[in-house]
Structure 1
Amino acid sequence: MQEFTFTPQGSDLPLLGPLNLALPGDSGFFVVYGGNGSGKSTLAQLLAGWYPEQLAGTIGGSATLLQETLEGKRLTEQATRIQLVQQSPLLQLSGCTFSVEEEIAFGPENLALPEDQIGQRIDQALRYTHSEYLRQRHPATLSGGEAQRVVLACALAMQPRLLLLDEAFSRLTPKATEQLLTQLRQYATDYHCQILLFERALLPAAKYCTQAMVLSNGKQLAAGQINEVLKTAISQVNAPDAWQVIHQLAAFQRWPDDIPLNDQMLINAFKEQYANP
């Protein structure tokens, strides 16, 4: 993206932009940080191919994704290349299946894949999401966290080249979220898939992503390597108290430039800075 903007139909002012963004490699993790109303969900929908069918308006600047412009294909044509998982899982289930296995098969079946390939995709998706135990459950009986796992499995079964996760772990515990992110990191390597996280919580995304962007009211506040962006991100998203303390220390030049990416790095950094010799 270069100087990219999006202006909704009926508005004179851009809702997003200008944005400048370049995704890392073909199997990297990237996180877009922002609070409520920052525009991160709109950006996720634009990248998923919702413009112009579902998001009417005008775009400015330039933007290419997987070697095509954002308006290059219809939404249905993007399904094998791009998958978007959003915050509310129950709104993303088909409502016409009687088991999780059937739900995951729904997408690949619509691609008219051979039955054995569909079975393989189901098995792989269940394994990557640690959802094997849910295979025969009716989707209507799933908890919020279980439904998020299943919706993610449905997306993986399509074997996309770009996976967009818009607060897709909001109903999972921190431990379960880290387990899934670890699995997704392996999936990205196995299938050469780029993964974009859209988060309003600092952790644990910072541990897994190499690059980041921070949005506020549709504007880009910062973008670059994760360690260069975290100071800005802390002021815009939900961050644990310890990271808020670091933010204040840094403001008074009592903390080095590097911001810890996880709990262990935080403990080690505090020991190095403040523990008695």
Structure 2
Amino acid sequence: MTVMIDLKNVSYRYPVSDDFVLKNVSFSIEKGKFTAIIGNNGSGKTTLCNTIRGFIPHFYKGDLEGEVIVDKKRMSDYQLGQLGEKVGYVFQNPFIQVSGVKDNVFEEVAYGLENLGVPVEEIKKRVEEVLTLVKIEHLRDKNPFDLSGGQRQRVALASIIVMDPDILVIDEPTSQLDPIGTEQIFDIIRLMKERGKTIVLVEHKMDLIAEYADNLLVMHEGELVMNGPVREVFANPAFRKYEIQYPHVTEIALQLQNLGMPLSFLPVRDIELAEALNMTGVNEYDRTSLK
């Protein structure tokens, strides 16, 4: 399997800081995998995203140690413009990702392609496809600044997806969204995974991470303290000491286990609870209703 992102003993300190924000971080992410970065506030998640995206060291200066390799090429060998085609970055706040120079959604989504000099007919085709993909074709003539937070977040995602990067780095895209908007964003992320994109996501909603992600990176005070498949990380007793929320069904299952109820495995998705409790006679319809 091709490794798309490879960090080797990476440490980073911002110019105005005395302490390192990232401390000796090492991990690899394979092509097509969906990796979630979790951790409490101040653990280094956004700084890690900025490192993968190349904002560090190309935009943010400071002290960077170790190696950051993206698609077999050292980060220091990329120009920032080249990285824009390789790695798409969706900010936590969709209000700062709108360019402010376009009057409608269609032109906003097309803006990046225009800057790359893509032929006009190809731009039109790709923008139409992406608007349909993220279900915002009805917003095509709206001013981006007249949209809701959820709508702007979908426009921000569309603006990145239309560039067709191999890697998507997405920093807390649902932090300002209601449950419906959150589900819509995760539907788009799921579609990107199905298309073979490598996805790195920072998110606090553990139920959705358990549903969609392949692997977890757990950050704590700038260090990568856990790394592995989602179920293995949540099942590891060491996870609890970092005081990060579990998926709701996992928390319930652990409480039942502490009360002496045996589990055949640790559930991380709602639909798994009946099977984990060895509840016989629960048919598929009943299991679905647990979700």
CA distance in 2, matches of 1:33, 1:19: 14
Of 152, 165, 175, which residue of structure 2 is paired with 1:160?
165
Q: Can you list the C-alpha shifts for 1:138-158, whole angstroms capped at 9, x where unaligned?
A: 111101111111101101011
1:173 maps to what in 2? 178
**1:132 to partner: Cα distance:** 1.6
CA distance in 1, matches of 2:189, 2:271: 22
Aligned length: 272
CA distance in 2, matches of 1:7, 1:204: 32
CA distance in 2, matches of 1:183, 1:36: 26
**1:208 to partner: Cα distance:** 1.2
**1:247 to partner: Cα distance:** 4.1
Aligned-pair RMSD on alpha carbons? Answer: 2.5
Assess if the C-alpha contact under 8 Å between 1:128 and 1:187 holds in 2: no
**1:210 to partner: Cα distance:** 1.2
Q: How does 1:128-167 map to 2 (within 5 A)?
A: 128-167=133-172
Task: Report which stretch shifted further, 7-16 or 72-81.
Answer: 7-16
CA distance in 2, matches of 1:7, 1:255: 46
Q: Can you list the C-alpha shifts for 1:30-50, whole angstroms capped at 9, x where unaligned?
A: 111112111101111111110
Residues 189, 201 of structure 1: alpha-carbon distance in 2 compared, 3 angstrom cutoff: closer
Of 88, 92, 108, which residue of structure 2 is paired with 1:87?
92
Q: Can you list the C-alpha shifts for 1:108-130, whole angstroms capped at 9, x where unaligned?
A: 01111111211122122212222
Residues 125, 222 of structure 1: alpha-carbon distance in 2 compared, 3 angstrom cutoff: same
Q: How does 1:1-277 map to 2 (within 5 A)?
A: 1-24=7-30, 26-190=31-195, 192-231=196-235, 235-239=242-246, 241-249=248-256, 256=263, 258-270=265-277, 272=279
State the AA in 1 paired with 2:8. Answer: Q
CA distance in 2, matches of 1:172, 1:16: 29
SS of corresponding position for 1:172: coil
What TM-score, normalized to structure 2?
0.84
Q: Can you list the C-alpha shifts for 1:143-183, whole angstroms capped at 9, x where unaligned?
A: 11111111011010111111001011223333443344344
CA distance in 2, matches of 1:47, 1:83: 10
Assess if the C-alpha contact under 8 Å between 1:167 and 1:200 holds in 2: yes
Percent identical: 28
SS of corresponding position for 1:51: helix
SS of corresponding position for 2:36: strand
SS of corresponding position for 1:36: coil
Question: Unaligned regions of 5+ residues in structure 1, if any?
Answer: none
CA distance in 2, matches of 1:258, 1:60: 40
Assess if the C-alpha contact under 8 Å between 1:46 and 1:55 holds in 2: no
CA distance in 1, matches of 2:97, 2:239: 29
* Bigger relative contact order (CA 8 A; separation at least 6): 1
State the AA in 2 paired with 1:216. Answer: H
Residues 73, 255 of structure 1: alpha-carbon distance in 2 compared, 3 angstrom cutoff: farther
CA distance in 1, matches of 2:180, 2:53: 28
CA distance in 1, matches of 2:276, 2:264: 12
Question: Unaligned regions of 5+ residues in structure 2, if any?
Answer: 1-6, 283-291
Assess if the C-alpha contact under 8 Å between 2:57 and 2:64 holds in 1: no
